[in-house]
Amino acid sequence: MYSTTTLSTHSTVASSGSIEDLSLSDEENVSFEKVSKFGRIIVKAPNAISQLTLEKANREIDKLPAYDFKSKGNRIREVDLVASEYSKDAQRPTKVTFDADGKLSDTEEFEKKFAPHTDSIKAMCKEALQTMGQKLNWKNISIEVRCNVLRYPFTPEQTQICNMAWHKDGCNLSMTTLLSPYYQHGNGFTGGELSFAQDSLFSPGVPVAGTIKTLEYEKPGDGFIFDGLKSLHKVENMHLLHEIKDGEEIVERLLLLCFAWPSIGDVITLSEALGKENLV
């Protein structure tokens, strides 16, 4: 999906077909620039998951069922990580703790919701959450979290994934981590960068002109942390490298999503405390 860690700005058009242009005076633009960064977070998390953990978890992911859904006409699959007895509460977050040293603890309730034979997936999710806590300096704090895995399949019928919508994840902070390589089975895919933008105050769901930034992952295991309060995000277009012929293995982009619900006040404080690490 992502080939470099280059940070760039694009004039990307929102799913609604427009980008809000405030047309402010110079003095107003300075004021707006400060406001637009307040409470917003974009942080790189390289090596969020180790390669060994990643390899083991991917083998387990391949054995789990997944459910299809459509997004802007694109077929995407959500992996079923949850044990059947917790299926009704699959979307409900679970509280975990980061102790005085920032170590992830009290994960028993979090872990017991996972389906059987997912020990490596559980380890992967905990490793990602630990990275998230370290990057955000979480100590002496309990936070509700939830993890999902998405599969973006490329098949003879779906050779590209395009026109994904600007959206929020419904949580206060997210971390997405790439789980799959770009090149697979003598084939592969390009694209899939992650774009971020300030959400419009006047037209929610529409990115504000001049605030769009697009980031690319360098390798599997790398992640990005971002807020869900004032920021929108979207996956950029992805394309299969070569046609998949009958009998050939499909190509997939795999993504781990970690959702977290620290307080709004904590997110606002973090947006300032992160300093230059905050790429907004």
Confidence tier at 20 by pLDDT (50, 70, 90): low
Confidence tier at 247 by pLDDT (50, 70, 90): confident
CA–CA separation, 179 vs 220, rounded Å? 5
- What is the reported pLDDT for 5? 33
- What is the reported pLDDT for 89? 83
CA–CA separation, 223 vs 237, rounded Å? 18
57-97 confidence digits (pLDDT tens): 999 999 999 999 999 999 999 999 999 998 888 889 999 99
Long-range own/partner contacts, residues 215-219 (CB < 8 A, 24 or more apart): 215/2, 215/5, 215/7, 215/42, 215/44, 215/279, 216/1, 216/2, 216/3, 216/4, 216/5, 216/6, 217/1, 217/2, 217/3, 217/5, 217/178, 218/2, 218/3, 218/4, 218/5, 218/46, 219/178, 219/181
147-198 confidence digits (pLDDT tens): 999 999 999 999 999 999 999 999 999 999 999 999 999 999 999 999 999 9
Residue 15 has pLDDT above 90, yes or no: no
- Looking at residue 275, what DSSP letter applies? G
Residue 36 has pLDDT above 90, yes or no: no
200-217 confidence digits (pLDDT tens): 999 999 999 999 999 999
237: its two tokens = 């277009």
CA–CA separation, 204 vs 202, rounded Å? 6
CA–CA separation, 161 vs 187, rounded Å? 16
Q: How many CB atoms lie within 10 A of CB 162?
A: 13
- What is the reported pLDDT for 33? 52
pTM of the model: 0.87
Calculate the CA dihedral of residues 83, 235, 230, 45 and round it to 10 degrees. Answer: 70
- Average pLDDT over the chain reads 89
106-129 confidence digits (pLDDT tens): 999 999 999 999 999 999 999 999
- What is the reported pLDDT for 18? 56
